[in-house]
Amino acid sequence: MVQKIIIGVLAAALIAVCSVWGYSAWQKQQAAAPAPAPAAALPAPKPAETAAPAEIAPVAAQAAQEEKADGTHFTYKYVSPRNPELLAMYNMASEIDILHHLPEVNQLDGWLTLPRPINFITAECGTINAFYARDKGDVVLCYEMLDLLVRQGAAVVQANGGSTGDQLKYLMANLRFLMLHETGHALVDMLDLPQTGREEDAVDQLATTLMLSLVSSDESDGDIAQNLQMASNFFLLTDGGNHDMATYADEHSVGAQRFFNLQCMIYGHDPGKYLRIVTSGRLPEARALRCQDESKQITRNWLRLIEPNIAPRHRMSLEEEQAKVQAIKQKQVENSTAPYMR
């Protein structure tokens, strides 16, 4: 009953701000769907219809080159679960359209040219997880994971004397990082991006880079850093510290390592602004000494990999980019009451 009340309050908060088959069944249905019939062949045009006068052809070609194409747009779908205990998660996710409240994902929508769309889906999975399904191009958020984050947020609020708004912030901060992490897997796959280390570590870095780089005038630098701090807390909450050989052999780093890597990325992004990450003990000084170079290198390399795939419509000159960044920073200053972690 308590959990249902929490879900209801969260749904109401998000709305104010802004039959029953699982994912496997949906996949089978998609696979079994008949392929669309091929379009009837059109008669070949007459030569006179296709040939443009010599004086017009160069003008038409130039106009075609100047037209700026948009990028690949994503799809979004909420699949109802077969487990009735997960219906509350399905109702919350679908009624508030939670997939459209992920700012970084929504900014990427149509920004890149991809070989096929990324499909963002919420579904029952039978396990606590979020993952990228390469065969379908699906980024899947499991209702089991959503339920875990809701319960974790409630526990954090209870332990720290917070409010329902704090619980909502915890939920959305973790969803933003989690879905960007899985989007990173999709981009590595679809764009065949080179990796020289473990992909799991690389897409953690990409998720952090995107949250620090795809800034919005609605959020200050402090808001962004606090979102990343809440996302990093997830790694500590899910890391019991008792690791066996299978844990160390896993493709993921252990939770504590992911936590400190994230702290290093945030601090290194602006050491003066985020100094308290070090002074509060969240990041050891020995690691902090290398974080500025480490963060800049990771950000620079990821942006270099992604830049060639930006759709023509969204490409900007250096002057346009600088003007946009300055406008956003000015708006952030107006919306911010105080600097973060000075």
First and final CA of the chain: distance in angstroms?
Answer: 42
163 and 287 both lie in a single domain: no
* pLDDT tens sequence across 111-128: 999 999 999 999 999 999
Question: What is the C-alpha to C-alpha distance for residues 129 and 122, in angstroms, rounded to an integer?
Answer: 11
CA 129, distance to chain mean position in Å, is 15
Q: By percentage, how much of the chain surpasses pLDDT 90?
A: 49
For residue 324, tell me if it sits in a domain. Answer: yes
Contact 291, 262 (CB under 8 A): no
Sheet with strand 119-123: strands edge to edge: 75-78, 119-123, 138-142, 130-133
| pLDDT score at 159 | 85
For residue 180, tell me if it sits in a domain. Answer: yes
**Global pTM value:** 0.75
Which runs of consecutive H residues, i.e. helices, occur in the chain? 2-17, 23-32, 47-50, 57-66, 87-95, 103-108, 143-160, 164-190, 199-213, 221-237, 245-249, 255-269, 276-279, 285-288, 291-306, 318-335
Q: 7-11, 71-75, 270-274: which has the minimum mean pLDDT?
A: 7-11
For the segment 147-153, the average pLDDT, to the nearest whole number, is 94
What secondary structure letter does DSSP report for 130? E
Whether residue 76 is predicted with pLDDT greater than 80 in this model: the reply is yes
For the segment 171-199, the average pLDDT, to the nearest whole number, is 93
Contact 183, 105 (CB under 8 A): yes
Tokens read off for 173:
């901060």
For residue 303, tell me if it sits in a domain. Answer: yes
**156 is in which domain, residue-wise?**
1-11+70-192
For the segment 256-270, the average pLDDT, to the nearest whole number, is 91
What is the number of alpha carbons within 13 Å of residue 63 lying toward its C-beta?
A: 5
Whether residue 39 is predicted with pLDDT greater than 60 in this model: the reply is no
Question: What is the C-alpha to C-alpha distance for residues 316 and 322, in angstroms, rounded to an integer?
Answer: 9
CA angle 240, 245, 246 (to 5 degrees): 80
Domain count, the chain: 2
159 and 87 both lie in a single domain: yes
For residue 264, tell me if it sits in a domain. Answer: yes
Q: Which of 286, 184, 169, 271 is nearest to 229 (CA)?
A: 169
- Domain ends where: 175, 192, 209? 192
Whether residue 204 is predicted with pLDDT greater than 70 in this model: the reply is yes
132 and 275 both lie in a single domain: no
152 and 125 both lie in a single domain: yes
- The CA distances from residue 134 to 6, 21, 187, in Å, are 34, 21, 10
What secondary structure letter does DSSP report for 310? B
Structure-model confidence comparison of residues 237 and 196, the more confident one: 237
For residue 4, tell me if it sits in a domain. Answer: yes
Question: What is the C-alpha to C-alpha distance for residues 282 and 318, in angstroms, rounded to an integer?
Answer: 36
| pLDDT score at 51 | 45
Per this entry, what is the length of the chain?
342
Structure-model confidence comparison of residues 316 and 144, the more confident one: 144
For the segment 38-53, the average pLDDT, to the nearest whole number, is 43
Whether residue 29 is predicted with pLDDT greater than 80 in this model: the reply is no
329 and 206 both lie in a single domain: yes
Question: What is the C-alpha to C-alpha distance for residues 94 and 97, in angstroms, rounded to an integer?
Answer: 5
Whether residue 278 is predicted with pLDDT greater than 60 in this model: the reply is yes
The model's confidence at residue 187, banded by pLDDT at 50, 70 and 90, is: very high
164 and 307 both lie in a single domain: no
* pLDDT tens sequence across 125-137: 999 999 999 999 9
Tokens read off for 188:
């590595």
| pLDDT score at 64 | 46
216 and 335 both lie in a single domain: yes
For residue 268, tell me if it sits in a domain. Answer: yes
Q: What is the mean pLDDT of the chain?
A: 79
For the segment 142-147, the average pLDDT, to the nearest whole number, is 97
* Location of structure tokens 């995107």: 210
212 and 229 both lie in a single domain: yes
For residue 106, tell me if it sits in a domain. Answer: yes
77 and 212 both lie in a single domain: no
For the segment 42-64, the average pLDDT, to the nearest whole number, is 46
Q: 40-44, 119-123, 166-170: which has the minimum mean pLDDT?
A: 40-44
For the segment 129-146, the average pLDDT, to the nearest whole number, is 97
Question: What is the C-alpha to C-alpha distance for residues 232 and 254, in angstroms, rounded to an integer?
Answer: 12
| pLDDT score at 226 | 84
Tokens read off for 159:
């332990």
187 and 281 both lie in a single domain: no
For the segment 88-108, the average pLDDT, to the nearest whole number, is 95
110 and 130 both lie in a single domain: yes
For residue 40, tell me if it sits in a domain. Answer: no
- Domain ends where: 151, 168, 192? 192
139 and 286 both lie in a single domain: no
Tokens read off for 228:
């990343």
Contacts of 274 (CB under 8 A, 6+ apart): 225, 266, 267, 340, 341
3 state DSSP class of 53? coil
Contact 16, 96 (CB under 8 A): no
